[in-house]
Amino acid sequence: MAMKHLVQHIETLDQHPAWEDTRQALEEARIDALPSSPMCIRDVLEEYFSDRIWPAFNPSSPGYLGYVPGGGILLAAVADLIANTLNRYVTVNEVAPHLSMIEHSVIQWFVDCVGYPAGAGGFLTTGGSMANWSALVTARRCRLPDNFFDALIYTSNQAHHSVLKAAIMAGFPEANVRVLTVDNAYRIDPVELAMQVEHDRAAGKSPFLVVAHAGTVNTGTIDPIDALADFCQAENLWLHVDGSYGGFFCLTERGKRRLKGIHRADSIALDPHKGLFLPYGTGCLLVQQQDHLHTAHYVAAEYLPKRTVPSGVPSICEISPELSRDFRALRIWLPLTCHGIDTFGEYLDEKIDLAHWAYEQLSGHATIRIVAAPELSLLAFVLELDEEIPLERRNELNARMLSNANQSRRFLLTSTVIDGQLIVRMCILCFRTHLPDVEFCVREVQRAADEVIGEIS
């Protein structure tokens, strides 16, 4: 019954809109009353698929180019069905050794992917936000005393908001996060960082950690990771790289070159539910030294097996915040095993090509100005407008261009704001997105830009 609905959904996915207007539904959506007596699943599913899944944005659609796209490889759903039906316990090695080892295998695959040395490790989280948070907690526990209130964290004004949230949840006062301005390519400037660190040390503060981005959410910009690693090494600062958007581009030659130095970071956040096209709920924290995770998280419990594993691989509950949880690794292991990692690399390569193609089309168009060329698969642009026009008016016009472009609902682009300026972004990361989808989007953007410019001139 569920299969019938799902097959029908997937088979018609490219006919569904990439987004719908949810404003009315937002008003009408109601909390369910708790059902007291049984209901027929056929009716329940019928109602679910006909009345609930729409209206919505559709992150598994080939036209979803907003925010950072999702995916939802079907084999991952098969893995979840298996994992949830068997309901094995994987966070204590002794309880299901071969299955726990699947969790550790997936982590080692990712360790290899970013080029970390032996001794590196990590664990699966539910997403990039949780990975950033666990990174900051781990660094704090390994590097700082219990009273850490003068320790400072450095990141740029292009950081994902989950970085500030992570710092706050890790116990740092908000004011301890130093937000650096960026250079004109939206990157952290190592010279400015060095000046700020020196200034803070002179004021008696304790610089402690730097968060760099392997692809910012605004423009896809990659911070100069190698140079930051040099600086952090010299200054004894922990370097965390948020690779939630871009980290898995390490699976491509071009990505590897652009993410040079990522293996020198003390910790890296990855988001398989973005870059590996997996369903939501799949994130990852990697650390260069797995021992750090143990130091940060281990608390003894009399009712759990002692650490007896001859291989020296710690149980996941000893190196992460969670105890009972889903068998997250299976939804990575099954698709990676069946499709092979090269397939993922090829798909990511295709996304880089598509973004580059879109960039060439848009940068050659008279009414459009590129704000950020794609380093990976994300580009940002605005209308070509006279700087004399007040910022507020320019923002209005760009917003109009965006909503005009999105009108067909066959694709979704979203915007962001940098220095008060509204910017339209195109992020290509869904495995279902191919050239015809991007072609259509680019034509619509060009048409919308011409229309808005036409109206005002």
Q: Quick one: 328 exposed, middle or buried, by C-beta within 10 A (0-12, 13-18, 19+)?
A: buried
217 interacts with ligand PLP by CB under 6 A: yes
CB 283 within 8 A of CB 274: no
CA distance 127 to 282: 5
Contact between 63 and ligand PLP by CB under 6 A: the answer reads no
257: Cβ contacts below 8 Å, ≥ 6 apart: none
Task: Kindly tell me which residue out of 242, 318, 375, 444 binds ligand PLP, with binding defined by CB under 6 A.
Answer: 242
Q: Which is nearer to ligand PLP, 329 or 368 (CB)?
A: 329
Is 160 a residue that touches ligand PLP (CB under 6 A)?
A: yes
Determine the residue with CB nearest ligand PLP. Answer: 128
Task: Please identify, using beta-carbon distances, which residue of 193 and 284 lies nearer to ligand PLP.
Answer: 284
User: Which of 217, 251 has the CB closer to ligand PLP?
Assistant: 217
Specify the residue, 162 or 288, whose C-beta has the smaller distance to ligand PLP.
162
Nearest alpha-carbon partner for 381 in 393, 432, 364: 364
Q: Which stretch binds ligand PLP (CB under 6 A): 31-39, 141-149, 240-248, 356-364?
A: 240-248
Residue number, 100 or 244, with CB nearest to ligand PLP: 244
343 closest CA partner among 425, 252, 208, 234:
252
Which of these segments, 238-246, 247-255, 313-321, 373-381, binds ligand PLP (CB under 6 A)?
A: 238-246
C-alpha 177/C-alpha 208 separation (Å) is 10
- The least CB distance from residue 216 to ligand PLP, in Å, is 6
* Distance (Å, whole) CA 430 – CA 67: 11
Cβ of residue 161: shortest distance to ligand PLP, in angstroms?
Answer: 8
Residues contacting residue 339 through CB under 8 Å, at least 6 positions apart: 73, 75
Q: Per rule CB under 6 A, is residue 223 in the interface with ligand PLP?
A: no
Nearer to ligand PLP by C-beta: 79 or 130? 130
Query: Considering only 1-9, 103-111, 121-129, 334-342, which stretch makes contact with ligand PLP by CB under 6 A?
Result: 121-129
Q: With binding defined as CB under 6 A, does residue 425 bind ligand PLP?
A: no
- Interface residue with ligand PLP among 244, 290, 315, 320 (CB under 6 A) is 244
Q: How far apart are CA 14 and CA 291, in angstroms?
A: 46
Among 18, 65, 68, 380, binds ligand PLP (CB under 6 A): 68
Shortest Å, Cβ 426 to ligand PLP:
15
- How many Cβ atoms are within 10 Å of 43's Cβ, its own excluded? 9
Residue 107, CA distances (Å) to 100, 101, 103, 328 in order: 11, 10, 7, 11
Answer for the pair 92, 304: CB distance below 8 angstroms, yes or no: yes
Give the Cα separation of 215 and 130 in Å (integer): 18
Q: Which of the residues 75 through 94 are near ligand PLP (CB under 6 A)?
A: none
Binds ligand PLP by CB under 6 A, chosen from 66, 128, 247, 314? 128
Q: What is the nearest approach in angstroms of ligand PLP to the Cβ of residue 97? A: 29
Task: Tell whether residue 266 is a contact of ligand PLP (CB under 6 A).
Answer: no
By the 10 Å C-beta count (0-12 exposed, 13-18 middle, 19+ buried), 356 is classed as middle
Query: Smallest Cα–Cα separation from 297: which of 90, 168, 141?
Result: 141
Shortest distance (Å) from residue 61 CB to ligand PLP: 18
**For residue 186, is it left (φ>0), alpha (ψ between -120 and 50) or beta?**
left
- Tokens 């509204």 locate to 422
**In the complex with ligand PLP, which residue's Cβ is closer, 73 or 452?**
73
Residues 127, 255, 314, 374: which binds ligand PLP (CB under 6 A)?
Answer: 127
| DSSP class per residue in 351-369 | HHHHHHHHHHHHHTSTTEE
Q: Alpha carbon of 218 to those of 228, 334, 427, 436: distances in Å?
A: 20, 32, 10, 25
Q: Does 158 bind ligand PLP (CB under 6 A)?
A: no
Binding test (CB under 6 A) with ligand PLP, winner from 245, 249, 277, 431: 245
User: How many CB atoms within 10 Å of residue 295?
Assistant: 14
Tell which one of 61, 93, 129, 320 touches ligand PLP (CB under 6 A).
129
Interaction between residue 376 and ligand PLP (CB under 6 A): no
Please list every residue from 272 through 311 that binds ligand PLP, using CB under 6 A: 283
Nearer residue to ligand PLP within complex by CB, 242 or 444: 242
271 binds ligand PLP (CB under 6 A): yes
Interface with ligand PLP (CB under 6 A):
68, 127-129, 160, 162, 213, 217, 242, 244-245, 271, 283
